[in-house]
Structure 1
Amino acid sequence: MSTTDRFGPHSRGKIDREYVVSAALCIVDRTGLDSLSIRSLAASIDRDPMTVYRYLPTKEALLDAIADSILSPLVTVDVTDADWQGQLRMFARHYRCLALEHPHAVILLSTRPHRTPLGLGTTRSLRSLESVLALLINAGFTAPEALSTYRLLKSFLRGHLLSETQEMPENPDETGDRLSLALRRLPVDEFPLLSTLPPLITAYDGAHELERGLDVLFAGLVRTVVPAEAVTPAESARKSALSLE
């Protein structure tokens, strides 16, 4: 039975917090984030709104829980693998796959959670952060470099996914045709490049763009991060101090 089929006006079985969050995500998947409210969620599981508030006290808490549930299956990297780039690439690919299963909810991955310190997330979501930090420190990064690298990776992934989901119209052929026509109608003297690029713009490949972005990110990191074994203790202390400024 699909997630969509599980929730309806006659769902009178036993429920728990996970069930309520799943029902909320189902609404978002079907009709978009704007259609989600405590009242609509309660109706979808045939309960009174107070039942929802028993598990999620506010709309903010509900949105946090949805974001956390989307990424709950996210892999943890193998901290013993010397190929840190390969591990981070696997992590990024899985993050993208999980996000694209719920394109209407991708914005939540960039804006939630709000209720935890510094938006770090729940204990469950912090496991991926812990594993990435351990992977990078084992590879020779200082602790500040490892944390900075994790932030860079997450910032890239969030931005990429927001861009990719914007490139996913409901009717891609129709939207692509309209975009191509609009670009071709641009004055060539004002837009000499854009007016000749319709095939490239309409042939957007999210997976390819992800890999290219990771290539650029990793190439920059390799140039700026020196393996720990090649750094003297004094230099290591200096780098850590500079990273924390």
Structure 2
Amino acid sequence: MTDPGAAPKARRGRPPSTSLNQQLILDTALAIVEREGPDALTLRRLGTDLGTNHTAVLRHFAGKDEILLGLAERLIEHAMDGFVPDAAWRPTLESLARRLRAACLTHPHLAILTATRVSRRSAAFQGADVVIRALRQAGFDERDAARYYRSLVDTALAVSSYEAATAALDSASRDGDRLAWRREYLLAPPDRYPDLAAAAPHLARADEDDQFETTLGLLLDAVEARAAGRLTPRSR
């Protein structure tokens, strides 16, 4: 006979609901997203994977949106882990942008889901502080440092999450898109598209690494030119 006073046992492989905490919920949410994609993440699915009613999750997060913000923070934490700023402002920004890209490519589904969100948490504040300090080190006042911070971070996230979306495609679609640069574009009729035809042999060599580094270089060249007074903003 079952002892009526005994505590109920958790289902095998799942923690009892009393052990729930924010970190466990975020770990489980991240696992769902990485395994099955962003659309699989729902409160009910979280409850199922945690072995509890989904309403128990709401004791730790106000709703799904707060969970998404927590996941956005995870992405930034990945990028910031072990980061040490350089003595010079430009290498600091280059390194941080590359770290952000690496985090997005390591967790492509997470990047797709959260790249446009503002996490409002400590890792995001730390990253913002580093970027703004580097821009002030370059010679900008607080107003311009704030403006360029937004532009740099949003562009780095946009390029990285775009690349993450490519990485998240099924292999046939991804390979087909890459092959197009070496096939369809090379076959573009030069009488109709003369400049494209001239550049077409080089398009396939402009791969994801080259695209990111080129975009990053263009942005930081512009920042450096403005810092030196060689390039004046069109609007203030």
TM-score range, shorter chain: 0.7 to 0.9
Report the CA distance between 1:107 and its aligned residue. 2.7
Distance 1:175 1:220, change over 3 A: closer
Cα deviations across residues 63-111 of structure 1 (Å, max 9, x unaligned)?
A: 1111111212333553xx4421111111011111111111112233432
Confirm or deny that 1:27 pairs with 2:40: no
Aligned to 2:22: 17
Larger radius of gyration: 2
Residue type of the partner of 1:152? S
Confirm or deny that 1:140 pairs with 2:139: yes
5 Å matches for 1:119-198?
121-168=120-167, 169-171=169-171, 172-177=174-179, 183=185, 190-191=192-193
Residue type of the partner of 1:160? V
Residue type of the partner of 2:216? L
5 Å matches for 1:11-160?
11-12=14-15, 14-75=19-80, 78=85, 81-113=86-118, 121-160=120-159
Residue type of the partner of 2:219? L
The gaps in structure 2 that reach 5 residues or longer are 1-10
Moved more, 173-182 or 163-172: 173-182
d(CA) in 1 for partners of 2:49, 2:199: 45
Residue type of the partner of 1:93? R
Residue type of the partner of 1:132? V
Q: Is the 8 A contact 1:77 1:131 kept in 2?
A: no
Residue type of the partner of 2:135? L
Q: Is the 8 A contact 1:133 1:150 kept in 2?
A: yes
Report the CA distance between 1:52 and its aligned residue. 1.2
Percent identical among aligned pairs is 24
Residue type of the partner of 2:139? G
Report the CA distance between 1:121 and its aligned residue. 1.7
Report the CA distance between 1:20 and its aligned residue. 0.5
Residue type of the partner of 1:71? I
Report the CA distance between 1:147 and its aligned residue. 1.4
Q: Is the 8 A contact 1:137 1:143 kept in 2?
A: yes
Cα deviations across residues 183-202 of structure 1 (Å, max 9, x unaligned)?
A: 56766655556678776555
Moved more, 26-35 or 164-173: 164-173
SS in 1 for 2:148: helix
Residue type of the partner of 2:226? T
Q: Is the 8 A contact 1:21 1:66 kept in 2?
A: yes
d(CA) in 2 for partners of 1:195, 1:27: 44
Q: Is the 8 A contact 2:43 2:64 kept in 1?
A: yes
- Please report the TM-score for the alignment, with normalisation by the length of structure 2: 0.76
Cα deviations across residues 5-41 of structure 1 (Å, max 9, x unaligned)?
A: xxx9722253310110111111111111111100111
Distance 1:94 1:47, change over 3 A: same
Distance 1:62 1:194, change over 3 A: farther
Q: Is the 8 A contact 1:77 1:135 kept in 2?
A: no
Q: Is the 8 A contact 2:104 2:161 kept in 1?
A: no
d(CA) in 1 for partners of 2:211, 2:142: 29
Aligned to 2:4: none
Q: Is the 8 A contact 2:101 2:157 kept in 1?
A: no
Distance 1:156 1:145, change over 3 A: same
Aligned to 1:233: none
Distance 1:19 1:140, change over 3 A: same
The gaps in structure 1 that reach 5 residues or longer are 1-7, 114-119, 228-238
How many residue pairs end up in the alignment?
Answer: 217
Residue type of the partner of 2:134? L
